[in-house]
Amino acid sequence: MTEYYYPQRMGRIILLAMEEVLGREGGHSIQRLASLAPQPENLPAARSEKTFSFDAVSRLMESLEQAYGPQGGRGTALRIGRACFQYGLREYGSMLGLTQMAFRLLPLSSKFDAGSKSFADLFNKHTDQVVRVEQQAGRLLWHIERCPLCWGRHTTEPVCHLAVGLLQESLYWLSSGRIFNVEETACIARGDPACTIVIDKTPIS
């Protein structure tokens, strides 16, 4: 089976976000449960080499469910996803042009289009994750066609909660503090062709 990877920098972001949400000990125990040897003093370096396997990402997500139960694991993964966005913005924001004033001043609908495209490009060009953005009336569909979060898993429900949290937080940031409905409606782990996250373009608040 082909091995797919995230860059080391992204693995580092996930582990940092996990520690922020669960505390140091909590983060380390999830790493142990996922059979990743925790290296407290040396997180993976923020480098672009692709070394953080999809298999490791998926095992981390599964370990959250084992440690906290399906509901607790879901809530935790959502929070970790939100924290990932904040770390990710620091690492990749300027490269993506998202932190430039010209972008900040765009109307919300243009930010949606430009932001989703450059966010998808980040994954497609710099990682083995494959993302396709589909625009529909009033909605944006974020199709993850090769997904690290549920890699190799078989489940009855969608399980890529980290991606939902990541997108929720990116929309919150993009819109200067509004909440949007974001839901995973299809998941490869459940036998669907892609992990599909549906975003309503009209904010709830």
Q: With respect to Zn ion, which residue has the nearer C-beta, 16 or 147?
A: 147
Question: Does the footprint of Zn ion cover residue 61 (CB under 5 A)?
Answer: no
Neighbours of 126 (CB within 10 A): 16
Burial degree of 172 (CB within 10 A; 0-12, 13-18, 19+): middle
Work out whether 14 is an interface residue with Zn ion (CB under 5 A): no
Task: Give the nearer residue to Zn ion in terms of CB position, either 64 or 98.
Answer: 64
Cβ distance 184 to 161 under 8 Å?
yes
Which DSSP symbol is given to 40?
T
The 10 Å CB-count burial string (b at 16+, else e) for 30-53 is bbeebebebeeeeebebeeebbbb
Closest approach of Zn ion to the CB of residue 36, in Å: 19
- Least distance (Å) between residue 144 CB and Zn ion: 6
- What CA–CA distance (Å, rounded) separates 120 from 80? 19
CA distance 4 to 105: 37
60 near Zn ion (CB under 5 A): no
Binding mask 160-199 for Zn ion (x = CB under 5 A): x----------------------------------x----
Under the binding rule (CB under 5 A), the answer on residue 56 touching Zn ion is no
H or E element in which residue 136 lies: strand 130-136
For position 147 contacting Zn ion by CB under 5 A, the verdict is yes
Tokens of 187: 């998941």
Window contacting Zn ion (CB under 5 A); options: 22-30, 51-59, 118-126, 159-167: 159-167
The stretch near Zn ion (CB under 5 A) out of 33-41, 66-74, 92-100, 141-149 is 141-149
**Residue selected from 61, 64, 96, 150 as contacting Zn ion according to rule CB under 5 A:** 150
Q: Give the interface size with Zn ion as a residue count (CB under 5 A).
A: 5
**Closest by CA position to 175, among listed 122, 119, 115:** 115
Residues making contact with Zn ion (CB under 5 A): 147, 149-150, 160, 195
